[in-house]
Chain A
Amino acid sequence: MLAKFKLIQPWLTLLARLILGGVLLAAGGLKIGNLQKSAMSVRAYELLPTDLANFFGYVLPWIEIGMGLLLIVGAVVSIMGLLGALIMLAFVVAIAQAWARGLSIDCGCFGGGGEIDPGETKYLSTILRDLGFFLLGVYLYYFPKGRFGLDK
């Protein structure tokens, strides 16, 4: 069992890197075309003071792009895995508090975002999806060495 895991672990790491990195790259890339909307979707969580929310709305897409690129090429995988897990955990907390407080918002994860009709919210599926990405990040933190990576 352990021997088998040792054999496939580098491939699992590659897969986790490509999924988490691809998701982050897409999430950031879809936001940079409309940073107004990105800032608006952070404000809609009603979690941060307005100025700070706007700041995050402009900055977060670039952070996501940077993390996504590094994960895909396999550089500083351990740290990026940890950061990725933390960022996903932060998203889960933000979405859960919006849900608990009865806000009607789109998560704005891949562009979009802001207030929407109460019937259109997708809190549970978003939380479960982000928890999945969180686990990929945790896995990469513990098993950063994989195939086709720049880290040696």
Chain B
Amino acid sequence: MASNSSSDKGTRNLVIVMVSFIVVVGVVFSLISNRSSSTAAIPASVSEADGYGIVLNPEITPKIDVYVDYQCQACKFFELINGDYLNEIISQKKAKVVYHPMSFIGPESALAANAVACAADEDKFMSMNLALFQNQAEDRNTGKWTKEYLALLGESIGITSSSFKSCVSDGKYVRWTSNVASESGKADVNSTPTVFINGKILDREKGEYGDVAKFRAALAASGIK
């Protein structure tokens, strides 16, 4: 035993050094990879100043920020309940609306966010937004939302250009989704859907997400009616 003790000690120290190394490398890698990347390709309608969100009606002043994850079921209900009214606000230019497609639920959320960004480049953001929620899988990351599926989904709502198809299949804006995620974190968004009206968060407990009358009232209180 005694003759082995120095080599035992060496093994122990080596293990400690290796584990510390793994931790340090992991930490550094995580901190760097979760920062917004200035080299990521971003859609034309995206504004860095608006948290890398997709901006509709950039010139109008009251501002609505909508944070969703396309795989989140509560977001689907929010869209089905309030989507028509939001569409009306956008088409009648009553507010600037910024969509932040998050991807914390998993890889298919990032693919969906990429596809909706590709649609935004074709001026079809709102239709793709709705189509995604209408075609949400029963569960998360089931394998339903492949690039091929999402390209076909766009085609089914009339986005037929080859630029859209290649944008979806190349995952052109997948890196941008990390920027959205990082900025959503800085905005302290902890669940989806989350909506801010002029920076003021909608109250979940008062039912302002799940009831269109309350949603309208909350918007009206900020002068959007």
State the A residues within 8 Å of B (CB). 32, 34-37, 39-40, 43-44, 50-51, 54-55, 57-59, 61-63, 65-66, 69-70, 73, 75-76, 105, 114-116, 150-152
Interface residues of B in 162-197 (CB under 8 A from A): 181, 185-186, 188-191
Inter-chain pairs besides A59-B30, A75-B19, 10 sampled, C-beta below 8 Å: A32-B26, A34-B104, A34-B106, A43-B185, A54-B34, A58-B34, A66-B20, A66-B22, A69-B22, A114-B104
**Interface pair B191/A75, CB less than 8 Å apart:** no
Assuming the A-B contacts A44-B191, A115-B190, A152-B8, are A63 and B185 also in contact, with contact meaning beta carbons closer than 8 angstroms in the complex? no
Q: Which of B19, B106, B185, B191 has the most CB of A within 10 A?
A: B185
Given the complex of chains A and B, what is the CA–CA distance between A71 and B11 in angstroms?
15
Residues of A contacting B30 with CB < 8 Å? 32, 35, 58-59, 61-62
Asked if residues B190 and A152 are in contact (CB atoms below 8 Å), the reply is: no
Summed over the interface, the residue pairs from A and B with CB atoms below 8 Å come to a total of 86
| Cβ distance B199 to chain A, nearest Cβ, rounded Å | 14
Instruction: Pull 7 A–B residue pairs with CB atoms less than 8 Å apart, ordered by A.
Output: A32-B26, A36-B103, A37-B105, A40-B104, A61-B26, A62-B27, A66-B19
Chain B interface, DSSP helix/strand/loop, else mixed: helix
Q: Determine the chain A residues whose CB is within 8 A of the CB of B12 once the complex forms.
A: 75, 150-152
- A40-B104, A152-B9 known; A114-B190 Cβ under 8 A: yes
- When distances are taken between beta carbons in the complex, the residues of chain B under 8 Å from A39 are 34, 185
Shortest beta-carbon distance, B25 to chain A, in Å? Answer: 9
Q: A145 vs B49: C-alpha distance in the bound complex, in angstroms?
A: 56
Interface residues of B in 1-47 (CB under 8 A from A): 5, 8-9, 11-12, 15-16, 19-20, 22-23, 26-27, 30-31, 34
Query: Complex: how many Å from CA A70 to CA B23?
Result: 11
- Are the C-beta atoms of B181 and A36 separated by less than 8 Å? yes
Closest A-B pairs by Cβ, 3 of them = A115-B191, A66-B23, A62-B26
Contact A69 B9 (CB under 8 A): no
Pick from B9, B19, B185: contact of A36, CB below 8 A.
B185
Contact of A44 with B190 in the complex, beta carbons under 8 Å = yes
A152, B5: Cβ atoms closer than 8 Å? yes
Residues of B near A50 (CB, < 8 A) are 185-186, 188
- Size band of the B side of the interface? 20 to 34
User: For residue A44, which residue of chain B has the nearest CB?
Assistant: B190
Check B16 against A43 for contact (C-beta < 8 Å).
no
| Chain B: minimal CB distance from A95 (Å) | 16
Contact with A along B79-115 (1 / 0, CB 8 A): 0000000000000000000000011111000000000
CB <8 Å contact, A37 and B104: yes
Chain B residues whose CB sits within 8 angstroms of the CB of A57 once the complex forms: 185
Are B23 and A43 in contact (CB-based, < 8 A)?
no
Chain B neighbourhood of A59, CB < 8 A? 27, 30-31
Q: A32-B26, A36-B34, A152-B5 are in contact. Are A70 and B19 (CB under 8 A)?
A: yes
A105 and B190 CA atoms in complex are apart in Å by: 10
Q: What is the CA–CA distance of A81 and B26 in the complex, to the nearest angstrom?
A: 22
Residue of B whose beta carbon sits closest to that of A43: B190
* Most B-side CB within 10 Å, residue of A32, A34, A40, A70: A40
Complexed CA–CA distance, A55 and B34 (Å)? 10
In the bound complex, CA of A20 to CA of B171 (Å): 41
Q: In the bound complex, what is the Cα–Cα distance between A105 and B204 (angstroms)?
A: 14
With A36-B185, A73-B15 in contact, is A62–B23 under 8 Å at CB? yes
Contact (Cβ within 8 A) A40 B23: no
